[in-house]
A and B are shown apart, each in its own frame.
Chain A
């Protein structure tokens, strides 16, 4: 199961994922992304520090989210992808579609700058 927490900040919005993003839980991210987009945030960071698993189902949501939000002038970046997540992002080449930061703080400050 995956838990999703959302934070609205001055510099943008943060979606923190925790647990496993499998085919059954991908809708949670989609819903969180939609909610954050409605706030008018210009940048969304998806933090994966506490995420332990992501398959093509979850990656598909990330890509769709980035594409839809991009058209509305909102960018999406990733942070905290470690271990197997980094391998999956690299091997699927999805990592090339996003700016990836080590931490959510790095992402927020870089995107705000």
Chain B
């Protein structure tokens, strides 16, 4: 089973739909409270108010699920988002079944399928944006994703098109978008594995042979002479541990692809603790100055964590 398939089945069948379901319960309760307290017309609220509340509660649950150290790739975030959104749609459709009797099974199926894709797709997009734009900060990226999700949801609920046209747009428009995201994620994975692994190994080799000072990276570090020597030393240490962990993450991934079991790394925790110590030691300015050289990304960290979690007995 491929990595994506294993994740898909694990998450789709596991906690995410349940969480989506619970999120929908919360959303229904809050919606009723809002309608009761504000006196807004249910029709207006359903079209323009509900998307804000529903997307906000879905994103809140997604923010918990796609913590940076747990999810590294856009495709994983999309799967998490889709499963959570689809779980949400399940309860919503059950509520509609109770509120809008009649119309027959075909209408219920068409509506249910459309809302599942819309809710799943909108939340998946938030996850994708959160990972793709993580450099701008997790919460900012999530906020931007939330606005996009609200726009999609509002479009779905605003009755601009006929219900059939609107469902067709969502059902036909979102899948190609996700194919594009999956392909891009796959390319990012190959780039991470190939090019970045070579860079990690080169850096480790330069550090091990004592030639680091003569490399462009070493010269860059020397140019940071405004930092105390102790901080410069810890920057070298940070580069060493970062490149070791970064290379280890890729090694674990290669083993998994080859169908081999990943050996638990007894030193992983202590290295991560040391990395935190070094981060504090060099301070914010040091971390910013070192950032262009640091090989360990949040993607490496999450890959390591997830593979090592699985490797533990």
Interface string of B187-218 (1 = CB under 8 A from A): 00000000000000000000111101100001
Most chain B CB neighbours (cut-off 10 Å) among A56, A87, A90: A87
Which chain A residue lies CB-closest to B207?
A: A84
Q: Which residues of B contact A53 (CB under 8 A)?
A: 237, 240-241
Q: Does A110 contact B (CB under 8 A)?
A: no
Interface string of A68-106 (1 = CB under 8 A from B): 000000000000001110111011111000000000000
Interface string of B223-236 (1 = CB under 8 A from A): 00000011111101
Interface residues of A toward B: which range?
20 to 34
Interface of B is mostly: helix
Which chain B residue lies CB-closest to A24?
A: B270
Bound-state Cα–Cα, A112 to B283, Å:
42
Q: Does A11 contact B (CB under 8 A)?
A: no
Bound-state Cα–Cα, A54 to B237, Å:
7
Given A55-B233, A55-B277: A90 and B213 within 8 A (CB)? yes
Bound-state Cα–Cα, A20 to B231, Å:
19
Q: Which residues of B contact A92 (CB under 8 A)?
A: 229-230, 232-233
Q: Does B281 contact A (CB under 8 A)?
A: yes
Q: Does A57 contact B (CB under 8 A)?
A: yes
Bound-state Cα–Cα, A106 to B104, Å:
92
Contact between A84 and B210, CB atoms less than 8 A apart: yes
Q: In chain B between 256 and 313, which residues have their CB closer than 8 angstroms to a CB of chain A?
A: 267, 270-271, 273-274, 277-278, 281
Contact between B230 and A24, CB atoms less than 8 A apart: no
Interface string of A13-31 (1 = CB under 8 A from B): 0000000101110000000
Contact between B221 and A1, CB atoms less than 8 A apart: no
B residues near A (Cβ < 8 Å) are 207-210, 212-213, 218, 221-222, 229-234, 236-237, 240-241, 267, 270-271, 273-274, 277-278, 281
A residues near B (Cβ < 8 Å) are 1, 20, 22-24, 53-57, 59, 82-84, 86-88, 90-94
Can you offer 18 A-B residue contacts whose CB atoms are under 8 A? A20-B274, A24-B273, A53-B237, A54-B237, A55-B237, A55-B278, A56-B281, A83-B207, A83-B209, A83-B210, A84-B207, A84-B240, A87-B212, A87-B213, A88-B237, A91-B221, A92-B229, A93-B229
